[in-house]
Structure 1
């Protein structure tokens, strides 16, 4: 069964896949889908264990999540696509671009990391979710996802994301935490041949700009953009700026 997904935009235009953050669903990309689907065939999906995608028993690793995307491409008869991923979606994107280079044209990596120790912190989060559910993470994650004051200014957006988080299957979320705990994509970065945009939130405590800098230095054709007044979910907090960066990267003339 393929990942849950939505396809919008004109047939025959370049295809773009959007992969989201841990604990979110494809609805986190709404601003980008609305804008980019005017000129691109946009496919937005839920990772396994998230949203309406299957949540098989763990353990998972990043390769499992990446192969889910390969299967989705095959299901949609898409031989080669652009790919943008934030956080967990970016981790999947790095694996995909290195291990299935023929499937990825241009790549964008947002608010992510190739290696994110300590593993014990991820295993503790997995244990918490299995014991108390994903809703138990709400207060902690809101402080990582957004800068101070954003939630008060945008209560409807935050409420939707919190609802999606609380609805995430505990086992799926926990198994994705375990995948991050075991992840080390640093050896793969020099193998990425796709022109790559790396985006960091200047105020991101989860994957701070130094993580983006390390990726940029290791990927042969990478450039870095750091967004002020943005924490981890930069695509939500700074939607217009992120959309503009993605449009420039994926639609510029070559």
Structure 2
């Protein structure tokens, strides 16, 4: 299913799994420092960047990227898209008047509302399990038997699922701005409907405010504009299907099955996956530790790259005892 990937650096393999609404370019601040110590595997998820939505399972012949030198991994870096659509009913008839399109409601105990913990909903074309299977297929394609895996938000959920379903493939985990259960089925379903009706650009402005602090948005406007453009360019069906997969996911009961040592990283100002979510992971994972980035929001890999890169190196190269 992954048709666009790149390999950077040399050393023990480290797979980097993207957040929802991003491409593998989100890891640009990590490529040089981490690539000096690890063989980085970056790729685009279904419906994001260079990997189209709706491709039959498995890697396409001639998948771009990789050591053979396929298609260069360039992505558009234009100015920010237009302002997000106003509240109320859209032209497609989707009622958004009472919905924060970037922060799915999290009520109560994050009840799964009938979804199974592997992330398969009645209407979802694929699941978080399927996305984990995509990673395993890519590792097979590259001849990598076992790797460290780091993931942000959706990517962290995929990394955990890979560690549960294919533990022999995972060495150590880095779980960034993620949770065992993110939002609710209702919230993600409504977001998917908004995006199908109005496109990803209709919610990208709100997303940037959740991803980055106001200081970062002001000081690094070009970086934020590039993230927003890539968000706007996501395939609306692919993005919506990922929303539905997240809505159906609940991995709380499976955390005890994860044998891989895990570093849990969170920003203290993250309103999407909070420090409390990170503490829950740390409490229920058998072998874990937590690091908090003071004042950082959701995409701390971009907002605090030097701090994050040092933490990853120390964890992945540290003594196992």
Normalised by the shorter chain, which TM-score bucket? Answer: over 0.9
**Which of 149, 157, 160 is matched with 2:215 structurally?**
149
Q: Hey, what's the Cα distance between the residues in 1 that align with 2:234 and 2:13?
A: 27
Query: Secondary structure of 2:173's match?
Result: strand
Which residue does the alignment assign to 2:229? 163
Distance in 2, matches of 1:117 and 1:45, equals: 25
Does the 8 Å CA contact 2:205/2:228 hold for their aligned counterparts? no
Partners of 2:45 and 2:19 in 1: CA distance = 9
Quote the residue 1:53 is aligned against: 51
Q: Deviations over 1:34-62 (max 9, x none)?
A: 11101111111111121111311852210
Give a deviation string over 1:209-232, Cα, whole Å, max 9, x none.
111111111110010111112100
> What residue in structure 2 maps to residue 34 of structure 1?
32
Is the 2:265–2:293 contact (alpha carbons within 8 Å) kept by the matching residues of 1?
yes
Aligned residue number for residue 318 of structure 2: 252
Q: How many residues align?
A: 252
Segments of structure 1 that go 5 or more residues without pairing to the other structure are: none
Counterpart position of 1:179: 245
Using the TM superposition, name which of 109-118 and 79-88 deviates more. 109-118
TM-score, reference length from structure 1: 0.96
Q: Displacement of 1:253 after TM fit?
A: 4.0
Q: Name the residue aligned to 1:15.
A: 13
Query: Does the 8 A contact of 2:172 with 2:316 survive in 1?
Result: yes
Structure with bigger gyration radius: 2
The list of structure 1 runs, each at least 4 consecutive aligned residues, that deviate by more than 3 angstroms after superposition, is: none
Looking at structure 1, the residues matched to 236 and 272 of structure 2 have their Cα atoms a distance apart, in angstroms, of 20
Is it true that 1:69 corresponds to 2:135 in the alignment? yes
**Does the alignment pair 1:81 with 2:147?**
yes
Name the Cα RMSD after superposition. Answer: 1.2
The normalised TM-score by structure 2 is 0.77
Aligned position for 2:88? none
1:147 deviation in Å? 1.3
Does the aligned pair in 2 maintain the 1:202–1:226 contact within 8 Å?
Answer: yes
Residues 73-222 of structure 1 aligned to structure 2 (within 5 Å): 73-222=139-288
Say which structure is richer in helix.
Answer: 1
Q: Name the CA distance, whole Å, in 2 between partners of 1:191 and 1:3.
A: 30
Note the residue ranges of structure 2 that are not aligned, 5 or more in a row. Answer: 56-123
